[in-house]
């Protein structure tokens, strides 16, 4: 990598940092002033001081800034490339390099390296960081780890069972006051609601002898003795009493993550968890389409960002002699074209999730269209 490559890459990263800081700061200021009452109410209930208010807001927006990076990151990566090339043209730094016989696409190679590097960082943030801090991202303004969050009620299609509760504690992975409303005839002979003080999800595990233990919920201090459960033979196999006489284990595929977050917010889940949900034989078609579309979007997002860069280069660095006003016009045209590609991507995602178009075609169509446009524009780039 030459000195000029390092200079261009550093400048690109600098612009990305400025855009990210500005985006996070703008989000924190607007959202903070809008929800300041919620933070103040939490501080007043705890008899706290102004220092506690600042600490609560800083803690809240530190974690949410990682979500902002995930949402705005791909767009900022491409817009930063537009800004970098526009500044190079404005200051005339690109002309000596082109006069030395270096092609434009070789000149802009550091930008492609930067796009791939930032895309890798965004991928790590999405796969490793966001799932780890998902409980903190689910909190409302002013909530702490000790506060209960709303339950996302779910229906188990396998056992015809509806699961809800009064609240979830993501930090403890605990469901408070759960209610299992079971319909006949699979597990019970009559409609039956099983309540308990708390419930903890136990994931599937393999014993030392290789036996696979199913996942399910351990209900603590059930409201009705196990002897009074109207269970069928299949129900006795999947609803098992514990040795202490007050706890009951229920075999079900509904996990804690499904109860503690909106199932449509796939950004808070890692790819392995999404694949498990996708292969769940009792999931709905709507959720399957949403998961499949999101998985394809995770694969295509870095490629779409790279395609956006090669759409930007010929639209900004044109072979025509340009005045200052023409450069401004080219930047505006570039932004409009990128907005159209972004709109097509959103529309394709909607078509894929609704089932109108197969998810694979919906996810890859913007890349095919954008790649074709980038190839068609190569003839207009300055050399």
pLDDT tens digits, one per residue of 173-218? 788 888 888 888 888 888 888 888 888 888 777 666 666 677 788 8
Q: Which residues contact 125 (CB under 8 A, 6 or more apart)?
A: 66, 69, 70, 73
Closest by alpha carbon to 39, among 55, 27, 15? Answer: 55
pLDDT of residue 284: 62
pLDDT above 80 (res 24): yes
Q: How sure is the predictor about 263, in pLDDT bands with cuts at 50, 70 and 90? A: very low
How far is it, in rounded angstroms, from Cα 177 to Cα 196?
Answer: 6
pLDDT above 90 (res 25): yes
pLDDT above 80 (res 125): yes
Residues in the chain: 383
Q: Which residues contact 36 (CB under 8 A, 6 or more apart)?
A: none
What token pair was written down for 245?
């006489």
Closest by alpha carbon to 194, among 168, 233, 242, 229? Answer: 229
pLDDT above 70 (res 22): yes
How far is it, in rounded angstroms, from Cα 185 to Cα 67?
Answer: 44
Q: What 8-state DSSP symbol labels residue 379?
A: G
Question: Stretch 303-312: mean pLDDT, rounded?
Answer: 92
Average pLDDT of the chain, as a whole number:
84
pLDDT of residue 112: 93
Asked if 32 and 57 touch (Cβ cutoff 8 Å), the reply is yes
Better pLDDT: 254 or 285: 254
What token pair was written down for 267?
């950004």
Other CB atoms closer than 10 Å to residue 253's CB: what's the count? 20
């Amino acid at each position: 990598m030459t000195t000029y490559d390092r200079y261009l890459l550093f400048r690109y990263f600098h612009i990305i940092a400025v855009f990210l800081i500005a985006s996070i700061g703008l989000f924190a200021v607007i959202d903070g002033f809008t929800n300041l009452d919620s933070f103040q109410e939490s501080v007043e209930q705890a008899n706290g001081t102004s220092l506690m208010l600042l600490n609560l807001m800083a803690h809240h927006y530190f974690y949410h800034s990682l979500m902002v990076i995930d949402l705005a990151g791909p767009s900022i990566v491409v817009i930063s490339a537009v800004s970098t090339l526009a500044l190079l043209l404005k200051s005339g730094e690109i002309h000596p390099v082109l006069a030395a016989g270096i092609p434009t696409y070789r000149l802009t190679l550091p930008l492609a390296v930067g796009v791939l590097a930032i895309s890798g960082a965004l991928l790590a943030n999405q796969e490793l960081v966001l799932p780890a801090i998902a409980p903190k991202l689910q909190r409302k303004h002013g909530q702490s780890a000790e506060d209960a969050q709303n339950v996302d009620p779910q229906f188990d299609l396998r056992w015809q069972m509806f699961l809800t509760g009064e609240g979830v504690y993501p930090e403890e992975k605990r469901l408070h006051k759960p209610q299992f409303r079971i319909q006949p005839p699979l597990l019970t002979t009559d409609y039956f609601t099983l309540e308990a003080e708390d419930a903890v999800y136990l994931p599937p595990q393999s014993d030392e002898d290789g036996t696979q233990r199913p996942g399910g919920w351990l209900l603590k201090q059930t409201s009705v003795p196990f002897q009074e459960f109207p269970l069928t033979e299949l129900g006795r196999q999947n609803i098992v009493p514990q040795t202490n006489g007050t706890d009951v284990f229920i075999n079900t595929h509904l996990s804690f993550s499904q109860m503690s977050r909106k199932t449509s917010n796939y950004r808070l889940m890692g790819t392995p968890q999404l694949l498990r949900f996708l292969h769940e034989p009792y999931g709905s078609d709507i959720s399957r389409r949403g998961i499949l579309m999101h998985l394809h979007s995770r694969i295509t997002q870095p490629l779409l960002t790279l395609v956006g860069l090669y759409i930007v280069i010929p639209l900004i660095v044109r072979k025509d002699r340009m005045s200052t006003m023409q450069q401004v016009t080219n930047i505006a045209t570039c932004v409009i074209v990128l907005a159209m590609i972004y709109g097509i991507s959103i529309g394709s995602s909607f078509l894929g999730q609704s089932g109108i178009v197969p998810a694979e075609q919906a996810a890859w169509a913007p890349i095919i269209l954008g790649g074709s446009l980038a190839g068609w524009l190569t003839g207009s780039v300055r050399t």
